Amino acid sequence: MKLRITIVLLLLMLGVQAQTDLVYKDLNISALCRNFVQWQQYQDTQMALYSNFEALDENGISISRLAFMQKLETGTFVCIADPGQPQQYRLFPMPKDANPGVGAILSELGFNGIRQVQMEGQDFPLLDAVDLSGKRITNESLKGNYVVIKCWYIHCPVCVKEFPEVNALVQEYSNLRKDVVFLSLAEDSPEQLKVFLAKKKLDYLVIPNTKDFMNITLGLNAFPTHFLLDKEGKIIKVVGSVDALKWVLQTYLRS
């Protein structure tokens, strides 16, 4: 008898859970957030927070991308792409039974996204440095070109892993147009970089000893970070991954 009562109670509990799950256009958001692997796959394939998406708050009201990132940083919201309008992202309250990892990652994405969005349209900070070949590079010397900047360091595995892909971008866009400069800022010393780059090829101009510039002046805390500057030295976009960089270059340099 007790077993039968227990089974009935469990079925009732499951029924209540099914009724209270958050569903948006046939997508069960609650179930998605309970399964971290499934949510990560959704995030990777359906969301591009680096793009110029249309941002909607939890009430479906249009807000700025900055406000969207600020809400995301709280860890109390999950973002979902509208199935009918893939570039429209909407916030929903984080389900109470969501995997804690979902909120943690979204909070980090929001934190980084705030800084990235805030930098758009700003002048790139004053730079006066010498690259590994001995060439002096300044903001003024870069004007008249689009500038792709990769911020990295030797002991960053992701930074190094993307070398083949960013090298391919150098080749592609150098052939496509003559007004693009690929520049990298590395925190390591010239001696360390020369030894390292003799084994790992990077087709960017490389400026050494830029740790303070990246961490303090640019305020970076995630690597790699990629910038695209316009011909006047203003920041068009700041992104974190090479896939995001590919989108940026495709969007702004192939128009």
Q: What is the pLDDT of residues 111-168, one digit of tens each?
A: 999 999 999 999 999 999 999 999 999 999 999 999 999 999 999 999 999 999 999 9
Residue 244 lies in a domain: yes
Tell which wins on pLDDT, 176 or 10: 176
Same structural domain, 171 and 221: yes
* pLDDT computed for residue 11 by the predictor: 45
The yes-or-no verdict on residue 3 having pLDDT over 80 is no
Domain boundary among 119, 148, 174: 119
Q: Does the residue 11 lie in any domain?
A: no
pLDDT of 1 above 70:
no
Q: Is residue 127 part of a domain?
A: yes
Measured CA to CA, the distance from residue 92 to residue 60 in angstroms comes to: 9
Six-digit token string for 12: 């009732």
- Same domain? For 161 and 216 the reply is yes
Residue 10: inside a domain, yes or no?
no
End residue of a domain, out of 77, 103, 119: 119
The last residue of a domain, from among 87, 119, 151:
119
Residues 143, 182: one domain? yes
Q: pLDDT tens digits, residue range 225-235?
A: 999 999 999 99
**C-beta atoms surrounding 178 within 10 Å:** 8
**For residue 13, pLDDT beyond 60:** no
Residues 161 and 198 in one domain: yes
- Whether pLDDT at 207 is above 70: yes
Q: Is the pLDDT of residue 211 over 90?
A: yes
DSSP state of 234: B
CA distance 250 to 255: 8
131 shares its domain with 204 = yes
Tokens representing 23? 């569903």
Q: Are residues 103 and 136 in the same domain?
A: no
Token pair listed for 211 = 């740790």
pLDDT at residue 69 tops 80 = yes
* pLDDT number for residue 20: 82
**Amino acid in position 54:** E
Q: How confident is the model at residue 187 (pLDDT cuts 50, 70, 90)?
A: very high
pLDDT, the chain, mean: 92
pLDDT, tens digit, for every residue of 25-65?
A: 889 999 999 999 999 999 999 999 999 999 999 999 999 99
Structure-model confidence comparison of residues 12 and 74, the more confident one: 74
In a domain, 67, yes or no: yes
* Residue 12 pLDDT > 70: no
Cα–Cα distance measured from residue 80 to residue 74, given in angstroms and rounded to the nearest whole number: 16
95 is a domain residue? yes
pTM score above 0.85: yes
Q: Same domain, yes or no, for 90 and 198?
A: no
User: Residues 110, 145: one domain?
Assistant: no
**157 plus 114 within the same structural domain:** no
Pair 83, 133 in one domain: no
- pLDDT classification of 19: cutoffs 50, 70, 90: low
Q: Other C-beta atoms within 10 Å of 189: how many?
A: 13
Q: Is residue 7 part of a domain?
A: no
Mean pLDDT of the region 83-104: 93
CB 92 within 8 A of CB 22: yes
Q: What would the pLDDT profile of 155-181 be if each residue is shown by its tens digit? A: 999 999 999 999 999 999 999 999 999
CATH number at residue 160: 3.40.30.10
Q: Does the pLDDT of residue 204 top 60, yes or no?
A: yes
Q: State how many domains the chain has.
A: 2
109, pLDDT greater than 70: yes
> 185 lies in which domain range?
123-253
Q: Which residue has the tokens 């934190």?
A: 111
pLDDT of residue 8: 42
Tell me what pLDDT residue 16 has: 44
**Do 136 and 30 share a structural domain?**
no
User: Percent of the chain having pLDDT more than 90?
Assistant: 87
* Max Cα distance, the chain (Å): 85
Same domain, 142 and 103: no
Residue whose tokens read 């992202």? 89
Instruction: Judge whether 4 lies within some domain.
Output: no
